[in-house]
Amino acid sequence: MAERADVVFVDGVRTPFGRAGEKGMYWNTRADDLVVKAITGLLERNPNLPKERVDEVAIAATTQTGDQGLTLGRSAAILAGLPMTTPGYAIDRMCAGAMTAVTTSGSGIAFGQYDVVIAGGVEHMGHHPMGEGADPNPRFVAEKLVAPDALNMGNTAERLHDRFPELTKERSDRFGMLSQQKVQAAYDRGDIQPDLVPVALRTEQGWGLATEDEGRRPETTLEGLATLKTPFRPHGRVTAGNASPLTDGATAAILASGTAVKELGLTAKMRMVSFGFAGVEPEVMGIGPIPSTERALKNAGLKIEDIGLFELNEAFAVQVLSFLDHFGIADDDPRVNPWGGAIAIGHPLAASGVRLMTQLARQFQQHPEVRYGLTAMCVGLGQGGSVIWENPHHKHYGKGR
């Protein structure tokens, strides 16, 4: 049997993320156009890659209806100008959609069936609120398989505060404030902008251009956060200041085999080492990244101490804090989300996994002393997803443990 091929992250981009809803910048923009814009921007950045060499297009969306339906990977491939011979498919693992698009198509590369793939995700939460049109089976509640409110992500975050009293609202608020500050600092340094694909906007005032994430609030203070409403329960602890906002946006990435990278003159930004997905009780879905990370570490033969950079999706601050406490990592550890995260940038569900990867790839460039990095996220209905990557700028890259 042939050896497993190296799976290389060549490049990743995203649209700027916009506030969901009528006042958001993408209200008049179609979801499929957002992901097509990400794919075309990605291809323009990689002129060495002939379009006919793309073997598959895997695009995730959580609410696969309307302009987010119709076998999105195939329709986006056609709209992005890829050859009619390029296949594509849609994928759904809610928040970990793009992450699963990467691990699934990447597995095809490892198995030797693909040379090059495009993987990504899109979520237009303004047009398609989470769960729109869904009809959960009545057995979930009738047979007490899940609590009646377990499909509400905010309630699951409140339960983490209940289960772990040490995860206080003050810690969550501080984490949310630091996320806002770190994102703004990354913008000020010019770290984030290179991987953003501008999107033309149609508004009542005329045409415009989206070039930055819309939901940032760098002026956030602890005093201000303390006064915010707790929408999920009276006197609760989850607020708009310590949770990710509803967001529209798209991501896309090129993955390739190590052989194809050399043949086509592409650049390896990271190498996939391992991944893991795991299920937990839907009522506490935020702890999902703990068992999925343990699985990914076991698959790689690594320990948590080997991870030098963490890109953790900030669906809720309490969810990230539960992960950090479990692994004995400080709330303000500089290895964790050094450029902030979804509390400030936003979390367009199925798109977010590739945002984490794109940021980690650029951080690897800045930190050749770091060999391994982790991208991880919680997933609705009680799951976690984690991918471990190796830094090609590290002196021991590709040499085994």
Q: Which residues belong to the active site?
A: 95, 347, 378
**With 0-12 CB in 10 A as exposed, 13-18 as middle and 19+ as buried, what is 326?**
middle
340-360 in b/e burial notation, b at 16+ Cβ within 10 A?
Answer: bbbbbbbbbbbbbbbbbbbbb
CA–CA separation, 268 vs 361, rounded Å?
9
Report whether 102 contacts 60 (CB < 8 A). no
Q: What's the Rg (C-alpha) of the chain?
A: 20
Neighbours of 267 (CB within 10 A): 13
**With 0-12 CB in 10 A as exposed, 13-18 as middle and 19+ as buried, what is 218?**
middle
In 258-397, the DSSP E strands lie at 270-279, 307-312, 372-379, 383-390
- Half-sphere exposure of 116 toward its Cβ, with a 13 Å CA cutoff? 25
Report whether 324 contacts 90 (CB < 8 A). no
Of 282, 300, 217, 249, the residue nearest 128 (C-alpha): 249
